[in-house]
A and B are shown apart, each in its own frame.
Chain A
Amino acid sequence: MVYMVRRLDALALLVLTAVLWGAFLIELYQHQLPCPLCLLQRVAFTMAGLGLLMNLRFGVRPAHYGVVILSSIAGLVAAGRQVLLHIVPGDPGFGEPFLGRHLYTWAALAFFGLLAYCGVALMLGFLRRNLSPRRFTFPEKFIAIAFLTIAMANLVSTLLECGLGPCVSGSFGYHWLWPIG
């Protein structure tokens, strides 16, 4: 499975490299010079690429995915900020759209995709490791019980509020306890 993830990492790095080359060629051929926020997004893509490159060079490790995840979050923050800067209706946005979206919007989607990819790769790459269950320590047990309790409480309160329906009654309350009159 690790071997397959390694191949996927190579593919992800290829896509990421194509994204960077695409932006660079648009800069050269369409004379669409990048703004400071766009440049930061290019740095973030390159930082994320480092994590994938580490996987190819040193072997698949969670720490390398950590590099990709943190870099993608940094890039998503910059791209998301740029999307929000141009979100007002009537704002033409920065630069020419590409396939119907501006480059920073594509960048935000790409960073989101990288984060999703890391989740999948971590699940696939480390499926067979640390499988043996262990006992909770006392503080861990307390935290786990608090967690399970709030999960159950949310289940019960949602059941009481929404019943088994889609929760579209329009008036919010514990209708199973006190039905609407």
Chain B
Amino acid sequence: MVLVLPFLTVLIAAWYIWKRRQRTATVWWLLTMVIYIIWFIYQSTNTLNLSF
């Protein structure tokens, strides 16, 4: 799992808003949302090796 991936896709979405390309930005936002949901399910259903 690459947790940095949604950070990259959301930044790309923001970049396209800056470049005034709304449709492309929305597609990247949607992609971020899909990755987010997958990551959340992974976080919620797998035993994580966390050390607090």
Which of the residues A35, A47, A77 comes within 8 Å of B29, measured between beta carbons? A47
Q: How large is the interface on B (under 10, 10 to 19, 20 to 34, 35 or more residues)?
A: 20 to 34
Q: What is the CA–CA distance of A50 and B11 in the complex, to the nearest angstrom?
A: 9
Q: Are B40 and A53 in contact (CB under 8 A)?
A: no
Q: Are B36 and A74 in contact (CB under 8 A)?
A: yes
Q: What is the CA–CA distance of A50 and B22 in the complex, to the nearest angstrom?
A: 11
Taking A39-B7, A42-B7 as given, write out 13 further A-B residue pairs in contact, using a Cβ cutoff of 8 Å, ordered by the A residue number: A36-B43, A40-B39, A43-B6, A43-B7, A43-B10, A46-B7, A47-B29, A54-B25, A57-B18, A58-B20, A58-B22, A74-B36, A78-B40
Q: Are B17 and A50 in contact (CB under 8 A)?
A: yes
CB of B15 to closest CB in A, whole Å: 11
B interface with A by C-beta (< 8 Å): 3, 6-7, 10-11, 13-14, 17-18, 20, 22, 25-26, 29, 32-33, 36-37, 39-40, 43-44, 48, 50, 52
